[in-house]
Each structure stands twice: as structure tokens, then as C-alpha cells.
Amino acid sequence: MSEADGSEPVYCAAGIQIMRSADLAADGWERRTVGDPERMAELIDLYVSLGFETTTTELDPSSFGEACTSCAISACTTYVALYTRRQNAS
């Protein structure tokens, strides 16, 4: 995916891009962060208390843009992406 095909990159750090999941975006989900699954429970509780639905997706090296190679393969394969949407958005 790229800006040329209509997808929008989301930057998790300077120079490292992770492409949005087109299916989730089409259903109204917005990516909030990428991080360790053990820490996501805290964020999920926070977003739920603010009236959001939450979902997470696993990542793999193909989820990352060209700027992130060894990091994506060695460390970030254990991370998940957190998405939210307002309740009753679908």
C-alpha cells in the first residue's frame, strides 16, 4: 500500500511508517497506537471508559513500510496495533 494507491501511511516514529488496515478503516476504526500487548490492556480500559470500542491486530514485517526492516523483523513482530471507534459507529 502507498499514497499512490489511496492508502494513508500512519507514522509510529520518525521515518517508520505502518500502513493502515483498509478493512478496519472502512468500518470506521482509527489506529491509535502500536505497542506491547501487555500494555494495551491499560489503554483499552481508558478508551472504553471514554466511550470507544476497541480492537487490536497483530503485526508482521509486511505491515511495516520500507524504512523499517530489521526492527520490524526482530522486535515489532510481537507488537499489536490498537484501533478505536465510537460505539455504534457501524
pLDDT by residue (tens digit) across 13-67?
Answer: 655 666 667 788 899 999 898 888 888 999 999 999 999 999 998 877 766 767 6
Q: How confident is the model at residue 79 (pLDDT cuts 50, 70, 90)?
A: confident
CB-count exposure of residue 67 (10 Å: 0-12, 13-18, 19+) = middle
Separation of alpha carbons 82 and 90, rounded Å: 18
Q: What pLDDT does residue 53 have?
A: 97
Q: What pLDDT does residue 46 have?
A: 96
Separation of alpha carbons 64 and 48, rounded Å: 27
Rounded mean pLDDT, 74-84: 81
Separation of alpha carbons 20 and 30, rounded Å: 9
Separation of alpha carbons 48 and 33, rounded Å: 15
Taking 50 as the threshold, does the pLDDT of residue 2 lie above it?
Answer: no
SS3 state of residue 34: strand
